A and B are shown apart, each in its own frame.
Chain A
Amino acid sequence: MLKYIIKRILSSIIVLLGVITITFFIARVIPSNPEVKWAGQRATQEQLEAARIELGLDKSLPEQYVIYLRDLLHGNLGMSLNTHQPVATELKRYMPATLELVLLAFLLAVLIGIPLGIYSAKKKDKMLDHVSRFFSIGAVSLPTFWVALFLQLIFYKSLSLLPIGGRISVEATIFQSMPKITGLLLLDCLLTGNFALMGDAFRHIILPCITISLYPIGLVARMTRSALLEILGEDYITAGHSYGLRDSKMLWKYALKNSLGTTATDVALSMGYTLTDTFLVEAIFSWPGIGSYIANAVTSLDYPAIIGVTLFGACCYIILNLLADIIIASDPRVRL
């Protein structure tokens, strides 16, 4: 078991190196004239030359690669061409808002998706199973950026119930100071007992959170259903039935427990997809997270920022994959 985990970690590190190499190629081989972006359109020849040296573009590619690796080891993702700030610092600043959104969306996905999956496995091929199937497939077929707009149309324009975007109302930021403990605004408000602000923040997070959670809800429901159905077809369940155990006891006590490993893995993996969805949704709800950051970077061709976010996303994905594999490995039925 331990040997497997160590082996798995080592292979993740190799994959990470590969990912870094690919991003290096995308960043250094394709772009044209980053020094012009850095120094400005009207820069003189000398200024451009200086910019090339400052960005390290005067060195050979292998040398640049070594420097790139060394910088990454020190947590240096390069400088944003727009703001001339270190990308890593900016990511750290935008990170908590994204994290808050993703975590809440996943909580919602687990709370709705798993019961939905259990229920449709229990009522297989009944009406509710079909409805849940349609909902799950529908949820993965919706363009998230469009759902975001649709929700704005209903809850902001038609019903005037919820704010159109942002993380908090402008008035709220004028009259009180933001609590800064974890960076997760809802949690910070709770910790400082500032319930008025918490309510305001909560109203702002509802729409983006629902938009983002649709995909994982559908996925988790589908996965729970199929994992559960597979286990319900196993011999030991039939054996349990022939011993006269009640259906509900078989389901909750024996089948569900064994299907949770698979579901947990899928939750971890779908988080990667959700992360990218989050980016599009953030831009629409003006949510001050990494998504808005990359959307800005894309429009202004700020390639160190784009590459930084890509690398960051890939790292999250690799770690989630690693965790998923470790969860599977900790299942005693899997012999390694």
Chain B
Amino acid sequence: MNNLIQTLKPRIESFRESMYLLARNKLSLLALIVLVLLVLSAIFAKVLIPYPQDIADASHIEIKLQPPSAEHWMGTDELGRDIFSRVVYGARVSLSSALGAVGLSLLIGIPLGAIAGSFGGWVDNVIMRLTDIFLSFPPLLLAIAMVAIMGSGLNNAILAISLSWWPWYTRLLRGQAISVKERKFVQAAETIGTSRLKIIFKHIIPNCISPVIVQASMDIGGVILTLASLSFLGLGAQLPTPEWGLMISMGRTYFPDKWWYCIFPGVAIFITVLCFNLLGDAIREILDPKTRKK
């Protein structure tokens, strides 16, 4: 037990130092708080929203396109559905889809990066050239092309984003793997005859994964934005899913007269992505040894 505390001590201290640095930056702390609230409201969305039936295709035509009021804080849409309920529930759709897309990219990117880094030679060359090729497409464009042709829908959009996003993680993990591969414990495992694949999955990946996970969590904001853009083009989520990008796209028909329909879902996207980016920026600064010294 004492031993465990001894080994964990530097880690705990560095974590505490990080938290201190994070707390010192008020804006990042605020971003963290807002994000926690957002995640909570996404989890408990069904209980929190005032009109739960409005997240599907309920319709109350008699109150359609009402401006914001005490009953409907963000107004109503063309079917009389409460926009506030849909926006809150939209957090659930966006966050879970973004997590799915990033998770899928990690699932492709991490093994490829580990294989490239630990095998080296032509395997490394082939995998790295492949990442070069995928990174030569402007980010959103490859996803647009893929979903447009696979057929629109939230799942296809998630798949298309992961297929265009994984190379970043492959590159990052490969860089880590190259240095870890030279460490003594990997050499020890090689000496006792552990198989190459087992070394990669049991020793190399677990020791390389933290910076990749940090990067991935910072990417969630960007992925939410990409998903919203695809839905705005009609390629992502389909009706009646309360997806933010799709809501803006639907509201365009009534814009600018019924401005609330477009504006509120956009504010939701902005706040969410902004918080992720502010936090990501703070994390980057904390992890950067140059700024940390001070």
A contact set with B: CB distance below 8 Å: 11, 14-16, 18-19, 22-23, 26-27, 30-31, 130, 133-134, 137-138, 140-146, 149-150, 152-153, 156-157, 230, 233, 272-273, 275-277, 279-280, 283-284, 294-295, 297-299, 301, 303, 306-307, 309-310, 313-314, 316-318, 321
Q: Return the contact of A145 from the options B136, B141, B229 (Cβ within 8 A).
A: B229
Q: Is A310 in contact with B245, judged by CB distance below 8 angstroms?
A: no
Q: Is A134 in contact with B270, judged by CB distance below 8 angstroms?
A: no
B contact set with A: CB distance below 8 Å: 27, 129-130, 132-134, 136-142, 144-146, 148-150, 221, 225, 228-229, 232-235, 245, 248, 252, 255-257, 259, 262-263, 265-266, 269-270, 273-274, 276-278, 281, 290
Q: Is B229 in contact with A280, judged by CB distance below 8 angstroms?
A: yes
List the 3 closest A-B pairs by CB distance, nearest first.
A18-B133, A146-B266, A141-B274
CA of A145 to CA of B259 in the docked complex: distance in angstroms? 14
Q: Is B269 in contact with A146, judged by CB distance below 8 angstroms?
A: yes
Most chain A beta-carbon neighbours within 10 Å: one of B142, B150, B278: B142
Q: Is A306 in contact with B149, judged by CB distance below 8 angstroms?
A: yes
**Can you report 16 A-B residue pairs in the complex whose CB atoms are below 8 A from each other?**
A14-B129, A15-B136, A16-B136, A134-B27, A143-B273, A145-B229, A145-B232, A149-B248, A149-B262, A153-B259, A157-B256, A276-B139, A280-B232, A294-B144, A301-B149, A306-B145
Q: Which residues of A contact B148 (CB under 8 A)?
A: 297-298, 301, 303, 306
Q: Is A140 in contact with B140, judged by CB distance below 8 angstroms?
A: no
Query: What is the distance, in angstroms, from A306's C-beta to the closest C-beta of chain B?
Result: 5
Q: Is B136 in contact with A321, judged by CB distance below 8 angstroms?
A: yes
CA of A133 to CA of B129 in the docked complex: distance in angstroms? 35
Q: Is A141 in contact with B141, judged by CB distance below 8 angstroms?
A: no
Q: A137-B278, A150-B263 are in contact. List 7 more A-B contacts (CB 8 A).
A: A18-B130, A146-B248, A149-B262, A149-B263, A280-B233, A310-B145, A313-B141
Q: Give how many A-B residue pairs fall within 8 Å (CB-CB).
A: 145
Q: Which residues of A contact B146 (CB under 8 A)?
A: 26, 30
CA of A133 to CA of B27 in the docked complex: distance in angstroms? 10
Q: Which residues of A contact B257 (CB under 8 A)?
A: 157
CA of A221 to CA of B146 in the docked complex: distance in angstroms? 33
Q: Is the interface of B mostly helix, strand, loop or mixed?
A: helix
Q: Is A19 in contact with B269, judged by CB distance below 8 angstroms?
A: no
Q: Is A143 in contact with B269, judged by CB distance below 8 angstroms?
A: yes
Query: What is the distance, in angstroms, from A105's C-beta to the closest C-beta of chain B?
Result: 15
Q: Which residues of B contact A26 (CB under 8 A)?
A: 145-146, 149
Query: What is the distance, in angstroms, from B272's C-beta to the closest C-beta of chain A?
Result: 8
CA of A44 to CA of B47 in the docked complex: distance in angstroms? 55
Q: Is A276 in contact with B140, judged by CB distance below 8 angstroms?
A: yes
CA of A275 to CA of B142 in the docked complex: distance in angstroms? 13
CA of A295 to CA of B249 in the docked complex: distance in angstroms? 13
Q: Is A303 in contact with B130, judged by CB distance below 8 angstroms?
A: no
> Given A134-B27, A298-B148, A149 and B255 touching (CB < 8 A)?
yes
Most chain A beta-carbon neighbours within 10 Å: one of B252, B256, B263, B276: B256
Query: What is the distance, in angstroms, from A134's C-beta to the closest C-beta of chain B?
Result: 7
Q: Which residues of B contact A314 (CB under 8 A)?
A: 136-138, 141-142
Q: Is B145 in contact with A137, judged by CB distance below 8 angstroms?
A: no
Q: Is A142 in contact with B136, judged by CB distance below 8 angstroms?
A: no
CA of A234 to CA of B260 in the docked complex: distance in angstroms? 51
> Given A137-B278, A303-B148, A273 and B225 touching (CB < 8 A)?
no
Query: What is the distance, in angstroms, from B130's C-beta to the closest C-beta of chain A?
Result: 7
Query: What is the distance, in angstroms, from B292's C-beta to the closest C-beta of chain A?
Result: 14
CA of A198 to CA of B149 in the docked complex: distance in angstroms? 40
> Given A143-B225, A233-B290, A149 and B266 touching (CB < 8 A)?
yes
The residue in chain B whose Cβ has the minimal distance to the Cβ of A34 is B149
The residue in chain B whose Cβ has the minimal distance to the Cβ of A31 is B149
Q: Is A19 in contact with B221, judged by CB distance below 8 angstroms?
A: no
The residue in chain B whose Cβ has the minimal distance to the Cβ of A145 is B232
> Given A146-B266, A149-B262, A280-B232, A141 and B145 touching (CB < 8 A)?
no
Q: Is A156 in contact with B256, judged by CB distance below 8 angstroms?
A: yes
Q: Is B270 in contact with A141, judged by CB distance below 8 angstroms?
A: yes
CA of A30 to CA of B159 in the docked complex: distance in angstroms? 14
Q: Is B137 in contact with A317, judged by CB distance below 8 angstroms?
A: yes
Q: Return the contact of A141 from the options B27, B144, B277 (Cβ within 8 A).
A: B277
Most chain A beta-carbon neighbours within 10 Å: one of B133, B145, B228: B145
Q: Is A30 in contact with B229, judged by CB distance below 8 angstroms?
A: no
Q: Which residues of B contact A310 (CB under 8 A)?
A: 137, 141-142, 144-145
The residue in chain A whose Cβ has the minimal distance to the Cβ of B132 is A15
CA of A157 to CA of B269 in the docked complex: distance in angstroms? 23
Query: What is the distance, in angstroms, from A214's C-beta to the closest C-beta of chain B?
Result: 12
Q: Which residues of B contact A150 (CB under 8 A)?
A: 263, 266
Q: Is A143 in contact with B255, judged by CB distance below 8 angstroms?
A: no
Q: Return the contact of B266 from the options A31, A143, A283, A303 (Cβ within 8 A).
A: A143
> Given A23-B145, A30-B149, A141-B273, A153 and B255 touching (CB < 8 A)?
yes
Query: What is the distance, in angstroms, from B52's C-beta to the closest C-beta of chain A?
Result: 26
Q: Is B138 in contact with A317, judged by CB distance below 8 angstroms?
A: yes
Query: What is the distance, in angstroms, from B267's C-beta to the closest C-beta of chain A?
Result: 9
